[in-house]
Structure 1
Amino acid sequence: MLLACLFCAIPSFAQGTDKAWSLLQSAVSDKDKEHRASSVKALGLLANNSKAADLATNALADENSEVRAAAAEALGQMRAKATAPKLKQVIQSDKEPSVVMASARSLIALGDPVGYNVYYAVLTGERKTGTSLRDEQKKALRDPKKMAEFGFEQGIGFVPFAGIGVGAVKALTKDDTSPVRAAAAKVLARDSDPKSAKALIDAASDKSWIVRAAALDAIAHRNDPTLAVQIQ
């Protein structure tokens, strides 16, 4: 009932009515974590609204990872560029993959290339600086349950098997990490950093066929003919 009222009141938030904001503040602090997550996610509908951005920023510190991920996603949707430094902090400090990935996606949406660093790390297992990931980050990448939180459905719709479900892809690849690394390769197609180009070239020879396919697709979308000749 609370969420229904929240969505009905969305048009009023932009007008700054006290009643609407009171409802929103109650929703994002609800005791039910699912209600909080849904309410925080709805903040993304309020573009260029400082109050909404403040509420979403505060939610980045929520005890529940679903709420934190929703907050990070909302900040990108509302184009809250001033929150980019906070999202970068989340990437460095949060141990939950879903939160880190949501922050990375939002940074990219805000035009900040730092977001690509996360996808680079997922694909290669290292940071762009050349240093290895922290132990807890490596552990998360090897944990099937954690990897599922990256959001497979957002990354599987590419050649050669567009439209095939996550379960089918996982059965074909025999693991959980390859689809996520493939999704990361797809995102890096838009990263102009030469290090990402090198990572894609290396991934084109990966032992996983789905990663190889994604890397080749990403390289093709970069429209750089010099990359093709470097593929072994």
Structure 2
Amino acid sequence: MIQVIGLSKRFELSLSHQMKVHPFSDLSFEVPRGAFMGIAGPSGIGKSSILKCLYRTYLPTSGEIWYDSSLYGRIDLAQATERQMSHLRLHEISYVSQFLKVIPRISALDIVAERLLPRGYALSEAREASAHMLARLNIPEALWQAYPATFSGGEQQRVNLARAFVARPRLLILDEPTASLDNETKHRVLDILHEMKREGTTMIGVFHDWEVMGRVADHILDMRSLGGAKEEKQLATAEGVRL
């Protein structure tokens, strides 16, 4: 489903001195359909940067990301157009970040249901599926019409997960999805992840808790074996930060 070849990312910083940061370089791996690959390593080593390159919120410096898409066939996400990436995010690829970022003053129910509308669901059907997923993730019915901005961190993350899970994506990218969850909800999340794997969803994720990751991952990429993040002080070609 995913084949990464020679992927590299470099940030150029202009602060009190010129510096280049290389979170990872010449990274290659493959993830079969329906498999889960975990990415492990200490903070700052580049785990989240890999996920953002896959989702294309970061543009890789070099390398290829071949994805088996139902919309476009085999496509290199590193070279895909913004229009193609927008369509893939709507229809095939979901990303769970560490923080929920949504439009204010929209209910939790509709924030989750919104993910299904581009897929041809009627609003009533989307809300029904949304309610079912929120219930599975321990969000009380009394909160479904409330605004997630008023929720606790753990409740916001459950809404974040519900948005990704309800769409049943072909590719699911997870960045610390269980970090702020209680043990009961972690178990529910793992149950849903196993369920989605059986249905064929391919997953790549970063977990702070190695035990939790080990219960769902088929393979773990340990970033420490790659040498970790690198910094190089030298003259940058432009001011600011390049993503």
Relative CO higher for 1 or 2, CA cutoff 8 Å, sep ≥ 6? 2
The structure whose residues are more often helix, as a share, is: 1
The structure whose residues are more often strand, as a share, is: 2
TM-score by length of 2: 0.28
